[in-house]
Amino acid sequence: MGDNMLHETLRKVLDTRSGVILPNSPQKGNCYETVFDAEWKGNVHFVVVMSEFRRNPGHYHVIRDGQPISPTYTFTKTDESLFRKMQRLIDDIENGKFSSKKTLSERITSFVEQNGAVSCMNNTKWRELLGALNENMKNIEIQYKNIFDEKAPDEYWELYGDEDIEHMNPAQIQWLKIKHTITEYRHRGALLPPETESYDKKEELMQIFRKYNIPYEYDESENAFVVFGYK
């Protein structure tokens, strides 16, 4: 089903009640296109988004101020079952279920205010730091705490295997620890232990910190740099 046809179908089958269906002026970004957008007071929107690549599913959710305040639901086909699920979400909006839901930005602000936290980084510095690490040392070991995590992790893992930090709002990072020693393993056969070789990236990391003016501390007990998002 084409995007314009899907828009017209949703106009017919969904009852947005007090929600106003906005004109079909598709907004594109990152290969996705908003094909249906209904707005309620308080800048609450129900939006349906389709990928430009047909192999990828569409999705729908509730947003406020451009940020999701509901889970994101995916779909691969349009049928009566999908329309019923969409209608239930719209009914929840109409009944006020999302009137007190906080956006991610509001949750971050609440954390800062409630904990008296002082910001040590900004999103630009985080992106510069993470971009430099991804470009120059993907196999560096890291550990970090999200401000919404109840407890800190107790293990390190390689940066290239972490899918969350790539898509996370950097303002959620309470602190990031970076080990400066990289160990590489070479397979020598089924009956022999792997051969290992270690590289110390301490000076390279300090060059990155200096280049982007990143504040850091050094944890002697863990031989790791610590970059605080908040203190």
What CA dihedral angle connects 73, 1, 24 and 106, to 10 degrees? 10
Contact predicate 79/6, CB 8 Å: no
Look at the alpha carbons of 78, 82, 87, 89 in this order and tell me if their dihedral is positive or negative: negative
Tell me the one-letter amino acid at 140: I
User: Tens of pLDDT along 114-127?
Assistant: 999 999 999 999 99
Closest by alpha carbon to 229, among 215, 219, 213, 218? 215
Domain limits, the chain: 3-101, 116-228
Strands annotated E in 30-159: 32-40, 44-51, 58-64, 67-68, 73-75, 141-146, 157-158
What's the maximum distance between 2 C-alpha atoms anywhere in the chain? 70
Query: pTM for this structure?
Result: 0.80
- The pLDDT assigned to 54 comes to 60
Cα angle 114, 116, 119; round to 5: 115
Cα angle 101, 106, 111; round to 5: 115
CA distance 28 to 34: 7
Task: Give the length of the chain.
Answer: 231
CB count within 10 Å of CB 56 equals: 13
Q: What is the pLDDT along the chain (231 residues), one digit of tens a residue?
A: 566 889 999 999 999 999 999 997 656 656 778 999 999 999 999 999 998 766 667 999 999 999 999 999 999 989 999 999 999 999 999 999 999 999 999 999 999 999 999 999 999 999 999 999 999 998 999 999 999 999 999 999 999 989 899 889 999 999 999 999 987 777 777 777 777 778 899 999 999 999 999 999 999 999 999 999 999
Closest by alpha carbon to 201, among 135, 137, 128, 130? 137
- The pLDDT assigned to 163 comes to 85
Tell me the one-letter amino acid at 151: K
Tell me the one-letter amino acid at 132: A
- The pLDDT assigned to 196 comes to 74
CATH class of residue range 116-228: alpha beta
At 205, list the tokens. Answer: 């990391």
Q: 123-136 vs 202-211: helix axis angle to the nearest 10?
A: 150
| Residue bearing tokens 């991610």 | 104
- The pLDDT assigned to 2 comes to 60
How buried is 116 (Cβ within 10 angstroms: 0-12 exposed, 13-18 middle, 19+ buried)?
exposed
